[in-house]
Structure formats: C-alpha cells, structure tokens
C-alpha cells in the first residue's frame, strides 16, 4: 500500500513539472496548446539519446529543456506571425515532432536500464529508486515553483499574465502581444520537455508513443489542483498544481488497484476531464432548472 502511494507521489512530482507547463498555456495564456504531446516525447528522446551515448544526465535534461523551448517557439511563430489558430498551430508542431522525435532517437524506443540517470546519485547513496525519484522530483518542483513565482511577478511576467486576460488592453499599454505569447509557449514547452526527460529516466525508457494523451493528463492535474487546493494567491496556485498532479497519480494508482484494466486508463481520464470542465455549466443549468420549477410552483 505504502509502496503504491510512494510510487504515485514520485511519479506525480515528475508530472507536476509538466502540469505547470500546461497551466502556463491553458490558464495564464488562455490557449490550449497541443504541442505538449510532442514536446514531452522530444524531452524524453533528447535525454535518452544523450544518456545512452554516455553524456551526463543533468546535461541531457538541460538539453531536453532547450529542445522543448524550440518546439514552443515554432508553435508560437505559427500562431502569432502566420496567424494560424493556436489549437491548429499546436497540432501542426505536435505532428511534426513525431518525425523529429524518431529522428532524434533513431528508433522508436530507447532503453535506459542500468544506465546513469539523474536518480543514480541518490540510489548510490542507498535510497530506494522510488524515493530517489521523489527527492529529485521534489527538488525540481520546488525550484521551479520559486523561479516561476518570481518570473510572473516581473514586468515581463506581468505582461504575459495580462495577455491571457485581455490582449487588446496589453497592446494599448505598449506591449507586443506576439512576443508575450511566444515567451509563454517557449517556457511552457521547455518545462514539458524537461518533465518528459525526467519521466523517461524514471521509467527506464523513452518511447515515441509516450506522449499520447499527455495534454489530457496535464489538464486533469490542473483542474484537480484548482478544485481541491485552489487558492487566489499565485504562489499557492502553483503549489496547488503540484498537489493536483500528485492527486491525479494517486487516483489512477487506486483505480488500477481496484482492478480497472490499464488499457481503459485514457478513456477514464478523458471522461474525468470532460466532467470536470463541464461541471460549472451543468451546475448553472441545474440551478436555473430548480429556480424555474420553484417559480412555477409559486404561480400554481
């Protein structure tokens, strides 16, 4: 039991990095960016390739981050300069990345078993691998939350936040909204790729298919975080995302433990997200229905 929860928490911390990336586009910039399905694999691919050719895993993760940033830049340029709708720009980059990822890896799957990863340092100290992942994940997430809290409080960060809110006003205040959107997409996809690099090392392989459905997992984590731990203050909101990602993993672990076939997982996640996204709407129309019924009774 403890093992299941520990596994879920460690995995959740790695996915939290990705969740923060999704939050930046989905909530702060107000675009649903599908690039992440490709950039998470790109990160895994770059790290796996580097590590398997003997490079330092930390450098591998750093390069993964840079690769993800490049992917975000492409989507950003497609969207802002060529005026392709955000959703479609993301899809185009995602599809293109599938080929890019195969090129990076040279094959569909790279195994990282018995290779030196970012977790090796801690397992060498005698930690069980699941706790090594937890420590690394926690360090990454804590650092990121602090850095992003600072960044979104700066002048540039404020204009990025305002862009997602009201681009017209931001332009009237002399900010080029093309740039703020591009910066947001770059940071977001860098984080997603970094998350991919960390996940690949913890699961022991990178696979060209591993990104499928990742955007939905990211959204599910964002929403769970907001619903369960949501707070108004920005720092707490960032931490709520981390808790959301972990909670999602714990839920999934339990559902699997209860005997749901692993193949149904994506269906389960998609339905959960659909329900969560439509809840405010359903609630509103339910209240409306109750109100009209009450009034009808009064008239009668």
Contact call for residue 146 and other proteins (CB under 8 A): no
Of 50-58, 72-80, 135-143, 170-178, which segment contacts other proteins by CB under 8 A?
170-178
Contact call for residue 171 and other proteins (CB under 8 A): yes
Q: Which of 126, 174, 259, 280 binds other proteins (CB under 8 A)?
A: 174
- At 205, give phi and psi (nearest 5°): -165, 160
Contact call for residue 177 and other proteins (CB under 8 A): yes
> How far apart (Å, rounded) are the C-alpha atoms in residues 114 and 57?
13
Q: What number of chain residues touch other proteins (CB under 8 A)?
A: 22
Helix (H, G, I), strand (E, B) or coil at 205: strand
Nearer to other proteins, 174 or 259 (CB): 174
Q: Are 12 and 245 in contact (CB under 8 A)?
A: yes
Nearer to other proteins, 205 or 234 (CB): 234
Contact call for residue 109 and other proteins (CB under 8 A): no
Helix (H, G, I), strand (E, B) or coil at 287: helix
Q: What is the dihedral of CA 238, 243, 249, 255, to 10 degrees?
A: -130
Q: Are 189 and 97 in contact (CB under 8 A)?
A: no
Strand 109-111, strand 205-207: pairing? antiparallel
Contact call for residue 237 and other proteins (CB under 8 A): no
Helix (H, G, I), strand (E, B) or coil at 206: strand
Least Å from the CB of residue 69 to other proteins: 17
Look up tokens 């990705």; give the residue: 18
Least Å from the CB of residue 178 to other proteins: 9
Q: Among residues 195, 11, 184, 121, which one has the least CA distance to residue 176?
A: 184
Contact call for residue 247 and other proteins (CB under 8 A): no
Contact call for residue 158 and other proteins (CB under 8 A): yes
Of 2-10, 47-55, 150-158, 261-269, which segment contacts other proteins by CB under 8 A?
150-158
> How far apart (Å, rounded) are the C-alpha atoms in residues 206 and 135?
21
Of 57-65, 148-156, 248-256, 281-289, which segment contacts other proteins by CB under 8 A?
148-156
Instruction: Give kind and range of the element (H or E) at residue 191.
Output: helix 177-203
Nearer to other proteins, 121 or 234 (CB): 234
Contact call for residue 169 and other proteins (CB under 8 A): yes
Q: Are 137 and 15 in contact (CB under 8 A)?
A: no
Least Å from the CB of residue 155 to other proteins: 4
Of 68-76, 165-173, 212-220, 287-295, which segment contacts other proteins by CB under 8 A?
165-173
Q: What is the dihedral of CA 216, 222, 224, 228, to 10 degrees?
A: 180
Contact call for residue 175 and other proteins (CB under 8 A): yes
Q: Which of 32, 77, 135, 162 binds other proteins (CB under 8 A)?
A: 162
Structure letter (DSSP) for residue 264: G
> How far apart (Å, rounded) are the C-alpha atoms in residues 197 and 46?
7
Of 125-133, 166-174, 266-274, 288-296, which segment contacts other proteins by CB under 8 A?
166-174
Nearer to other proteins, 171 or 229 (CB): 171
Q: Under the rule (CB under 8 A), what is the footprint of other proteins?
A: 151, 153-159, 161-162, 165-166, 168-177
């Amino acid at each position: 039991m403890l093992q299941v929860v520990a596994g879920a928490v460690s995995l959740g911390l790695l996915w939290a990095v990705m969740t923060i990336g999704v939050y930046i586009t989905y909530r702060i910039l107000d675009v649903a960016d599908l690039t992440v399905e490709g950039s998470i694999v790109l990160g895994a691919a770059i790290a796996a390739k580097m590590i398997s050719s003997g490079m330092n895993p930390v450098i591998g993760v750093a390069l993964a981050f840079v690769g993800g940033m490049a992917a975000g830049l492409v989507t950003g340029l497609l969207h802002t300069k060529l005026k392709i709708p955000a959703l479609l720009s993301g899809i185009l980059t995602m599809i293109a990345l599938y080929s890019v990822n195969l090129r990076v890896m040279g094959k569909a799957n790279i195994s990282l078993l018995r290779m030196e990863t970012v977790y090796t340092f801690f397992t060498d100290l005698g930690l069980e691998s699941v706790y090594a992942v937890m420590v690394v994940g926690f360090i990454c997430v804590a650092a990121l939350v602090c850095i992003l809290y600072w960044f979104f409080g700066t002048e540039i960060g404020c204009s990025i936040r305002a862009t997602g809110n009201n681009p017209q006003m931001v332009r009237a205040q002399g900010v080029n909204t093309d740039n703020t959107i591009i910066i947001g997409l770059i940071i977001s996809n860098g984080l997603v790729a970094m998350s991919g690099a960390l996940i690949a090392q913890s699961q022991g392989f990178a696979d060209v298919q591993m990104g499928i459905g990742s955007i939905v997992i990211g959204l599910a984590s964002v929403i769970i975080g907001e619903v369960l731990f949501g707070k108004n203050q920005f720092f707490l909101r960032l931490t709520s995302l981390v808790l959301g990602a972990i909670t999602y993993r714990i839920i999934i672990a339990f559902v699997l433990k209860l005997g749901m076939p692993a193949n149904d997982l994506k269906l389960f996640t998609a339905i959960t997200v659909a329900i969560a996204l439509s809840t405010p709407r359903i609630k509103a129309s339910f209240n409306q229905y109750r109100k009209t019924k009450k009034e009808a009774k009064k008239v009668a």
